[in-house]
A and B are shown apart, each in its own frame.
Chain A
Amino acid sequence: MAEGDGSGKNRPRLALHVPEPKYRPGDVADFSHLDIPPAGKQKRPDEACAAADTNPLCTDLIRVLGDDDQAHGPWDPRLSADKMRAILRDMALVRIFDERMYRGQRQGKTSFYMKCIGEEATSVAAAHALAFDDMVFPSYRQQGVLMVRDYPLIEMINQIYSNKADKLKGRQLPIMYSSREHSFFSISGNLATQYPQAVGWAMASAMQGDSRIAATWMGEGSTAEGDFHSALTFAAVYNAPTIFNVVNNQWAISSFSGFAGAERTTFAARAIGYGIAGLRVDGNDALAVYAAQLWAADRARSNDGPTLIEFFTYRAEGHSTSDDPSAYRSAQEQNEWPLGDPITRLKNHLIAIGEWSDEQHDAMDKELDEKVRAATKEAEKNGILGHGLHHPFKTMFEDVFEELPWHLKEQSEQAIRERELKWPK
Chain B
Amino acid sequence: MAEVNKAEAAVEDETATAPGERRINMIQAINEALDIMLDRDPDVMVMGEDVGYFGGVFRATAGLQEKYGRTRVFDTPISECGIIGVAVGMGAYGLRPVPEIQFADYIYPGLDQLVSEAARLRYRSAAEYIAPMTVRAPFGGGIFGGQTHSQSPEAIFAHVSGMKTVVPSTPYDAKGLLIAAIEDNDPVIFFEPKRIYNGPFDGYYDRPAKPWKSHAQSVVPEGYYRIPLGEARLVREGEALTVLAYGTMVHVVESVCREKGVDADILDLRTLVPLDIEAIEKSVKKTGKCMVVHEATKTAGFGAELAALVQERCFYHLEAPVQRVTGFDTPYPHSLEWAFFPGPIRIGDAIDTIMSE
In this assembly, does B135 line the interface, its C-beta being within 8 Å of a C-beta of chain A? no
- Please determine whether B116 and A231 come into contact, CB atoms closer than 8 angstroms: no
B70 to chain A: closest residue by CB: A207
Interface size class of B (residues with CB under 8 A): 35 or more
Given known A-B contacts A199-B85, A402-B122, A233 and B79 have beta carbons under 8 A apart: yes
Chain A residue contacts of B89, Cβ below 8 A: 137, 196-204, 214
- Please determine whether A201 and B129 come into contact, CB atoms closer than 8 angstroms: no
Query: Least Cβ distance of A278 to chain B in Å?
Result: 20
Interface string of A245-284 (1 = CB under 8 A from B): 0000000000000000000000000000000000000000
- Please determine whether A168 and B95 come into contact, CB atoms closer than 8 angstroms: no
Interface string of A385-415 (1 = CB under 8 A from B): 0000000000000011110011100000000
- Please determine whether A402 and B162 come into contact, CB atoms closer than 8 angstroms: no
Given known A-B contacts A178-B129, A400-B162, A200 and B90 have beta carbons under 8 A apart: yes
B78 to chain A: closest residue by CB: A233
Which A197-229 residues sit within 8 Å CB-CB of chain B? 197-205, 207-208, 214, 226-227, 229
CA distance A227 to B89 in the complex (A): 13
CA distance A226 to B112 in the complex (A): 11
- Please determine whether A178 and B124 come into contact, CB atoms closer than 8 angstroms: yes
Partner pick for B128 among A180, A229, A407, CB 8 A cutoff: A180
Given known A-B contacts A195-B85, A227-B81, A207 and B95 have beta carbons under 8 A apart: yes
- Please determine whether B94 and A231 come into contact, CB atoms closer than 8 angstroms: no
Chain B residue contacts of A85, Cβ below 8 A: none
- Please determine whether A230 and B128 come into contact, CB atoms closer than 8 angstroms: no
Tell me how many residue pairs across A and B have CB atoms closer than 8 Å: 145
Residue in A171, A197, A229, A406 with the greatest tally of chain B CB atoms within 10 Å: A197
Chain B residue contacts of A178, Cβ below 8 A: 124-126, 128-129
Partner pick for B86 among A167, A188, A197, A405, CB 8 A cutoff: A197
Interface string of A173-189 (1 = CB under 8 A from B): 00010111000011011
CA distance A179 to B93 in the complex (A): 13
- Please determine whether A230 and B124 come into contact, CB atoms closer than 8 angstroms: no
- Please determine whether A200 and B88 come into contact, CB atoms closer than 8 angstroms: yes
- Please determine whether B90 and A234 come into contact, CB atoms closer than 8 angstroms: no
Given known A-B contacts A204-B90, A226-B109, A186 and B129 have beta carbons under 8 A apart: yes
- Please determine whether A401 and B82 come into contact, CB atoms closer than 8 angstroms: no
B163 to chain A: closest residue by CB: A401
In this assembly, does B164 line the interface, its C-beta being within 8 Å of a C-beta of chain A? yes
Chain B residue contacts of A200, Cβ below 8 A: 85-93, 97
- Please determine whether A399 and B93 come into contact, CB atoms closer than 8 angstroms: no
CA distance A172 to B81 in the complex (A): 24
In this assembly, does B200 line the interface, its C-beta being within 8 Å of a C-beta of chain A? no
For the complex of A and B, list the 5 residue pairs with the smallest distance between their C-beta atoms, beginning with the closest. A200-B89, A196-B85, A200-B86, A230-B82, A204-B93
Given contacts A190-B117, A233-B79, A401-B162, 11 further A-B contacts (CB under 8 A): A176-B124, A178-B124, A185-B129, A186-B128, A195-B85, A196-B86, A201-B93, A203-B89, A205-B93, A399-B127, A407-B274
